[in-house]
Every structure is written in structure tokens, then in C-alpha cells.
């Protein structure tokens, strides 16, 4: 039994989007089953099909492709607390809601969002729910590899010219935040933001002793990073020594449950890295959420509230 055919005829214009970018006046499209079999002028295609649709006055074009979507957010568009909010206020209102989304909710939101996309002419979409499973993975590297890993992470910070008197932004906004890694476990180090990229990590110590280039380490991370995600030097999947079926998220959840309570006093002050002390002629500034002054260290001072849920602070690198 042959597949059912559908013929779209007499379209005012068929925009093919092919390599030649043909635009066919009085165009037609013949569809067999779920595949396009022919495109051309109405006079050049068959005159009949199982179903014929007259598209006089209409323009036919391929389905649009959406390369960035968050289908799960379809369910939370009308949340009152997030209406007319700044970006940070919007995120603060919605993150707790999103954290409670269940599989059925994701299914319904995907169906709703895809239906809306089809009504707008979009037939293909890439959805950003979360791309990586992030299972626990361990790699074997040496001291030089640990330092190179941290040097790559330090790219989150701009290079600061200590002699400049005008304000300088601390954060490199072109650097993906998910590439800022901190390696913990009796490891301590300094980041000198006045130095060139690749030469910023100093005083790298393990258990209080300086790390040597050949010193062996097993570093626990996730499969994304271990297999080369982010382009970190020495991480290409060839030095993996352990891969667990457990996701990092599930391991962390189990750990938090075992403790029963997480407090800032107990866990939030054990900083294993810091900025190298340096005196700058002008302020080093960064922007973050407003209203969190009580959590700021003594080395920072607020310069202004931006009125959009964020505030600008100055960091004294000499302290």
C-alpha cells in the first residue's frame, strides 16, 4: 500500500531555502507520507493527490528552527512574583518553583511549548533543560595538570592593571561561569589577577606542602569535564580511572541528607583559595545581587545599588 499523498498548489510563493535560494511563483509542494517528494511550479507537478490544498495568496516556506528554548518554563509564565521583575528578581522567584518540577510537569510543558512553536511556524527546536548527566568521574593527573586546570579556571577574572586609577571590572563576562572550577580536599592556592592568563596560580599546596609538577593526584569531577568539556588542558577522557553510575547531583543530595543541616558557619568559611594580595591605584569592581551586604567580606564595600536587583561593589585586593 502506497503512502498517502498531499499536494499544496498555487502558492503565491514557495521559498525553498535551498542552496540556490529559489523562490517559486505559483509554487507547489508534493508530500508523500511524511516526506517532501517534489517542489516546483504548480504546472510542473502532478495535478492530483489523495489530498489537494489550494494555497492561493499564501507563502510556503520550510519550518523554522529554534536553537534555544526552555520548554519547562512554559508552566511558569504567569507566576505573580516574577512579573515585571529584573533578571535576578525573576530568577530568585522562579528557581524554587523549577526545583520542584516533576517528570509529568516537564512532559506537559514540553507538549504545550511545542504546540506553540508549531503555531508560529517552527518545526524543529533544541531544548535547554539540561544537556549533561554529570556522573561522578575520577581522573589521574599530576601536579602540573592540577595547576593547568586551575589556571584555566582563573580565566573567569580579568587581568587587573595595578597602576590604573580608573575602575576595572574583576569578572570576565565572556568566560562561561560553569568553567570556573574550584578543586578542594586539603589543596590551597592563590590567584594573582595582575598576572597574565596562564601564570596566575601561586602557593599551590597540598596538605600544607608545595605541590611538585610530577606529584600524582586523583581528582574527582564529572564526566563532562573529564571527557574534555570546557577544553581544559590534559582532560580528554584518556586519563579516567573511575566512572560511577551515580550523578554528582544525587551524591550531593545524599550527603546533605546525611548531615541534616548545612550552615554557613560550618561550611561557608572554609575557603581553600584567595586572591593574592596586591595594592591597586584604582578600585576593582564587580556586580552581584543587591541586598546581601551582610554576607560580604570585610574586603568589599558597596559602591551603588543599580536599582535592578543588582549592586556594584569594590574589592580591596590588598586585604
Residues 170, 172, 176, 179, Cα dihedral to 10°: -60
* Burial label, 250 (beta-carbon count in 10 A; 0-12, 13-18, 19+): middle
Residue 234, by phi and psi: left (phi above 0), alpha (psi -120 to 50) or beta?
Answer: left
The answer to whether the Cα torsion of 256, 261, 267, 269 is positive or negative is positive
Looking at the predicted structure, is the pLDDT value of residue 271 above 60? Answer: yes
Amino acid 133: pLDDT: 65
Residues whose CB is less than 8 angstroms from the CB of residue 130 and which lie 6 or more positions away in sequence, other chains included = none
The answer to whether the Cα torsion of 87, 90, 92, 94 is positive or negative is negative
CA nearest to 295, candidates 319, 278, 313, 277? 313
The C-alpha cell 592568563 sits at 197
Separation of CA 63 from chain center: 26
Average pLDDT over residues 239-245: 94
First to last CA, the chain: 80
Query: What cell does 150 get?
Result: 586551575
Contact call for residues 193 and 111 (beta carbons, < 8 A): no
* Burial label, 149 (beta-carbon count in 10 A; 0-12, 13-18, 19+): buried
Q: In whole angstroms, what is the distance from residue 199 CA to residue 193 CA?
A: 9
Contact call for residues 317 and 278 (beta carbons, < 8 A): yes
Residues whose CB is less than 8 angstroms from the CB of residue 197 and which lie 6 or more positions away in sequence, other chains included = 151, 154, 155, 159
Query: What are the pLDDT digits (tens) for 139-192?
Result: 999 999 999 999 999 999 999 999 999 999 999 988 888 899 999 999 999 999
Amino acid 260: pLDDT: 86
The answer to whether the Cα torsion of 247, 252, 253, 257 is positive or negative is positive
pTM for this model (two decimals) = 0.63
CB atoms < 10 A from the CB of 170, how many?
20
* Burial label, 40 (beta-carbon count in 10 A; 0-12, 13-18, 19+): middle
Query: What are the pLDDT digits (tens) for 38-66?
Result: 999 999 999 999 999 999 999 999 999 99
Q: Mean pLDDT score of the chain, rounded to an integer?
A: 91
Looking at the predicted structure, is the pLDDT value of residue 2 above 80? Answer: no
Query: Strand pairing of 35-41 and 51-54?
Result: unpaired
Q: In which band, very low, low, confident or very high, does the pLDDT at 122 lie, cut at 50, 70 and 90?
A: very high
Amino acid 177: pLDDT: 83
**DSSP codes, 114-125:** HHHHHHTTEEEE
Looking at the predicted structure, is the pLDDT value of residue 131 above 60? Answer: no
Amino acid at each position: 500500500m502506497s503512502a498517502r499523498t498531499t499536494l499544496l498548489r498555487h502558492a503565491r510563493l514557495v521559498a525553498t531555502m535551498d542552496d540556490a535560494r529559489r523562490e517559486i511563483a505559483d509554487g507547489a509542494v508534493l508530500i508523500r507520507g511524511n516526506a517532501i517528494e517534489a517542489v516546483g511550479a504548480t504546472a510542473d507537478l502532478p495535478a492530483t493527490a489523495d489530498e489537494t490544498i489550494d494555497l492561493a495568496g499564501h507563502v510556503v516556506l520550510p519550518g523554522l528552527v529554534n536553537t534555544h528554548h526552555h520548554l519547562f518554563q512554559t508552566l511558569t509564565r504567569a507566576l505573580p512574583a516574577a512579573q515585571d521583575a529584573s533578571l535576578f528578581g525573576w530568577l530568585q522567584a522562579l528557581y524554587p518553583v523549577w526545583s520542584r518540577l516533576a517528570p509529568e510537569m516537564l512532559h506537559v510543558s514540553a507538549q504545550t511549548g511545542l504546540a506553540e512553536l508549531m503555531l508560529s511556524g517552527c518545526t524543529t527546536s533544541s531544548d535547554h533543560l539540561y544537556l549533561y548527566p554529570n556522573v561522578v568521574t575520577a581522573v589521574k593527573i599530576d601536579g602540573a595538570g592540577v595547576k593547568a586546570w586551575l589556571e584555566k579556571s582563573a580565566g573567569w577574572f580579568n587581568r587587573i592593571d595595578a597602576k590604573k586609577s580608573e575602575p576595572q571590572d574583576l569578572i570576565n563576562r565572556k568566560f562561561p561561569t560553569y568553567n570556573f572550577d574550584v578543586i578542594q580536599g586539603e589543596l590551597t592556592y592563590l590567584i594573582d589577577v595582575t598576572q597574565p592568563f596562564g601564570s596566575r596560580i601561586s602557593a599551590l599546596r597540598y596538605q600544607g606542602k608545595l605541590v611538585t609538577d610530577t606529584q600524582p593526584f586523583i581528582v574527582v569531577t564529572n564526566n563532562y569535564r573529564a571527557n574534555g568539556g570546557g577544553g581544559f588542558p590534559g582532560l580528554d577522557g584518556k586519563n579516567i580511572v573511575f566512572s560511577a553510575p551515580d550523578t554528582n547531583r544525587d551524591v550531593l543530595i545524599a550527603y546533605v541528607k546525611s548531615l541534616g543541616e548545612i550552615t554557613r558557619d560550618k561550611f561557608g568559611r572554609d575557603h581553600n583559595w584567595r586572591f593574592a594580595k596586591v595594592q591597586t591605584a584604582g578600585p576593582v569592581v564587580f556586580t552581584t545581587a543587591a541586598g546581601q551586604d551582610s554576607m560580604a567580606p570585610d574586603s568589599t564595600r558597596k559602591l551603588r545599588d543599580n536599582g535592578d536587583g543588582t549592586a556594584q561593589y569594590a574589592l580591596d585586593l590588598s586585604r
